[in-house]
Amino acid sequence: MADPYQYPYPSPELAAAYPFRELEFERLSPDEMRRRAERFHIQMEQRRSVRMFSPDPVPRDFIEHAIMTASTAPSGAHKQPWRFVVVGDPALKSAIRLAAEEEERINYEENRMNEEWQQALAPLGTDWHKEYLEVVPWIVVLFEERYEVRPDGEKRKNYYVKESTGIAAGMFIAALHNMGLATLPHTPSPMAFLTKTLQRPDNERPFVLFPVGYPMPGTRVPDLVRKPLEDVALFFD
């Protein structure tokens, strides 16, 4: 069979200038691939956003492993433009809750969220009360790094920052669910208070806040149905 690549990657010139190594990849049988795919889908189908968390402690290394997994996400020019800030200190969690609730109170009660938005949220029953931010053992705030600041103070551009950080956020959620923890992607708007509260530098911007822990026994969630494949995918075979 003829080589389908006229311009293989990496080129000899690129490989001579930068380090490369052979990909470690095990090609599985179709049956094994299908088994893994079906098992993972069934597992992830059970994932739900939780708003009633248990105060039971969660070992710090669980969070560390989830962050390391999230950080395997692809990113523009391999810049990895994200920072996970992990909060377990009760006083700091309380400060985050108070600030988040004030922003959300304005959203819900002073019409910063328009009527259409509030109608869309009505089946979920959300409001501005965020008690779980103090109850939950960990709060993880994901910041997007808009640009890199080198040790000498030089600024370097990051690329596809939101796309890269969004992929990392999704992988963080999957990693937590895979190990048996629950979370809730929370984006209090605006989120500038997180930069101040967590003393983050100017090149970082809050992207999403994750309370992380175990669900309270008896936790209830909206009885939602996810869209079927034909509503979310289009194939050109």
Domain ranges in the chain are 50-217
Q: Which class is domain 50-217? A: alpha beta
Contact between 30 and 185 (Cβ < 8 Å): no
Question: What pLDDT is recorded for position 124?
Answer: 86
**What is d(CA 196, CA 207) in angstroms, rounded to the nearest whole number?**
14
Contact between 51 and 136 (Cβ < 8 Å): no
Question: What pLDDT is recorded for position 188?
Answer: 84
Please list the rounded mean pLDDT of every run of 10 residues in the chain (237 residues).
Answer: 86 96 97 98 96 98 98 98 98 96 89 86 88 97 96 95 98 98 93 96 97 97 94 97
**What is d(CA 88, CA 141) in angstroms, rounded to the nearest whole number?**
11
Q: What's the whole-model pTM score?
A: 0.94
Backbone angles phi, psi at 180, to 5 degrees: 100, 20
Give the closest residue to 211 by CA, choosing from 124, 120, 122, 96: 96
**What is d(CA 191, CA 205) in angstroms, rounded to the nearest whole number?**
8
Q: Tell me how crowded residue 182 is: count the other CB atoms within 10 A of its CB.
A: 24
Q: Could you identify the residue written with the tokens 């819900």? A: 108
Give buried/exposed letters for 192-213 (b at 16+ CB in 10 A, else e): ebbbebbebeebbbbbbbbbbb
**What is d(CA 74, CA 80) in angstroms, rounded to the nearest whole number?**
8
Residues 6+ apart with CB under 8 A from 205: 143, 144, 146, 195
**What is d(CA 59, CA 184) in angstroms, rounded to the nearest whole number?**
19
Structure tokens at 139: 């709060």
Question: What pLDDT is recorded for position 1?
Answer: 67
